[in-house]
Amino acid sequence: MSKTFTSLALVAFASLAALAPDGTSQQVWASPGPHLVGWRNEQLPFVGGLTINDRIYFPSLVGGAGSDPDPSAGPYPLAVLIHGATVAPKDYDELSIHVASHGWIVASVGKMNTFNETYENLANEAKDLVDFVVAESADPSSPYAGLVWDGDYAVIGSSKGGGACELFVGLEPKCRAAALMEPSHYASFAAYDALAAWDGAWLFVAGELDMTNPPSEVKQTLDKATAAARRSYVEIQGAGHAGALDSDTFGLPIDPMPHEEQLALHEQLVLAFIEGELRAGEDAYYEILGGATAATVERESYSPRPPLWVVEHDAPAAVTIGLAGSAGDLALLGVAGAPASIPIQYGTLGIDPASAFFVGLGTLDASGLVELDVPTPADISGLTLWVQALVKNAGGALTRADALVVP
């Protein structure tokens, strides 16, 4: 194996500088999932004697409004969705169904009247809705019995709901991933404190031509999330403000990118992010920050805990290796013929140093990203390799070690 592995390493590393990602790797999260999706409306009490009409989406045997959940493939991870101003859960049906079709429970916060729809109330209602769904899941007599898993949760926010996410992450300890779509920036001391304290993972999606919450304002929120383990920024080129909605409710379909394409990108980005953080693993970042969206988005990473993705190509025989750190970080990539578990000052070295080959990737540019296509010779097809990167940032960090079966 040593001779074969040496040959592979030399071929791969000799190719790193010469090849650019071609985006041919398989996309998983852009496609509908395997589950039919049903939903139910639930009325929850709210401040001042009001009730809120929330909507809960779930995998279902038959699908559609009022159908029963299917617990057979559960329990499922939970995502709460906080809507924008003037819209309701039904306006995000397509996005919610897309996420739920991949085996998620999506709890969508109901619409409030204008007077009550403050950032604080949206965040509090999202917390109440999470508590309701979790309690129902624990009740054997509930139609939602056994649906929600014990793992961490995600929050998805759109426009004003994105601003409410700034507060929600401080209310729900099990929330570890927050996807904000064209978010407004809630300028308050409470939001600043929550942003600065939360150490989970953020995804910020902006529309290049959004005149409601333009990219410059989206980055105001991103810039204050200083304790985050990961901050990913994606700006959809040719998109406006309403890309996450089922239709352009503003009645001004003037964005160069067709609305159906904007919606499809939101579905892909949000699902890949929450899957990558909470369930499927970091290879999902290929569909957020990697070549899967290279032609349609501008991407940036600000991540002291860098994700690493290693994705097999459809054709030709090659793999894509990507890394998301922060601008100015130094990156070193290692490939080994065996795994390891060796504590070092930067974390746990997961590749065997005796069989490893290392190559410097240089200093990450302003995007904080690097992605490379590596061809794999046919004569070593089926060999298992282990890949890991070291990123020298303020403290230094090792990525996870990823096992790769050579295609």
- Give residue 324's pLDDT: 96
Quick check: helix, strand or coil at residue 407? coil
pLDDT of residue 50: 77
**Terminal CA-to-CA distance of the chain, rounded, Å?**
16
* pLDDT over 60 (residue 373): yes
User: CB neighbours of 220 closer than 8 A, spacing ≥ 6?
Assistant: 185, 187
What gap in Å lies between CA 301 and CA 325, rounded to an integer? 6
Segment 292-311 shows an average pLDDT of 89
Torsion of the alpha carbons at 88, 264, 300 and 394, rounded to the nearest 10: 70
| pLDDT-wise least confident of 84-98, 162-176, 391-405 | 391-405
Q: Give residue 127's pLDDT.
A: 96
The pLDDT mean for the chain works out to: 89
Best CA proximity match to 33, nearest among 106, 107, 100: 100
Q: What is the mean pLDDT of residues 197-212?
A: 96
d(CA 324, CA 312): 18
CA atoms within a 13 Å half-sphere pointing along the CA-CB vector of 173: 1
What CATH number belongs to 36-279? Answer: 3.40.50.1820
Report the C-alpha gap between 162 and 182 in whole angstroms: 7
CATH class for the region spanning 2-24+308-405: mainly beta
Closest CA to 87 of 158, 143, 7, 152: 158
CB half-sphere exposure, 341, CA atoms < 13 A: 0
| 124-128, 291-295, 401-405, range with the lowest pLDDT | 291-295
Domain segments of the chain as ranges? 2-24+308-405, 36-279
The single-letter DSSP state of residue 364 is -
Q: Residue 239 in 3-state DSSP?
A: coil
Nearest to 106 by CA among 62, 158, 47, 141: 158
Whole-number Å distance between alpha carbons of 271 and 276: 8
Interval 255-284: pLDDT, tens: 899 999 999 999 999 999 999 999 999 999
What's the pLDDT tens digit per position in 92-107?
A: 999 999 999 999 999 9
Residue 5: pLDDT over 50 = no
Chain segment 325-357, per-residue pLDDT in tens: 999 999 999 999 999 999 999 999 999 999 898
> Is the pLDDT at 195 greater than 80, yes or no?
yes
C-alpha to C-alpha distance for 374 and 320, rounded to whole angstroms: 6
What share of residues in the chain are helix, strand, coil (percent, to 5)? 30, 30, 40
Q: What is the pLDDT of residue 6?
A: 42
In percent, the amount of the chain with pLDDT more than 90 equals 73
The DSSP string of 280-349 is: S-GGGGGGTTSGGGTTTEEEEE--SS--EEEEEBSSSSEEEEEEE--TT-EEEEEEESSEEEEEETTEEE
Report residue 69 as tokens: 């959940």
**Does position 49 have pLDDT exceeding 80, yes or no?**
no
Q: Determine the Cα–Cα distance for residues 314 and 25; give it in Å rounded to an integer.
A: 5
Reading the block at residue 223, the tokens are 């810039």
Q: What is d(CA 114, CA 52) in angstroms, rounded to the nearest whole number?
A: 13
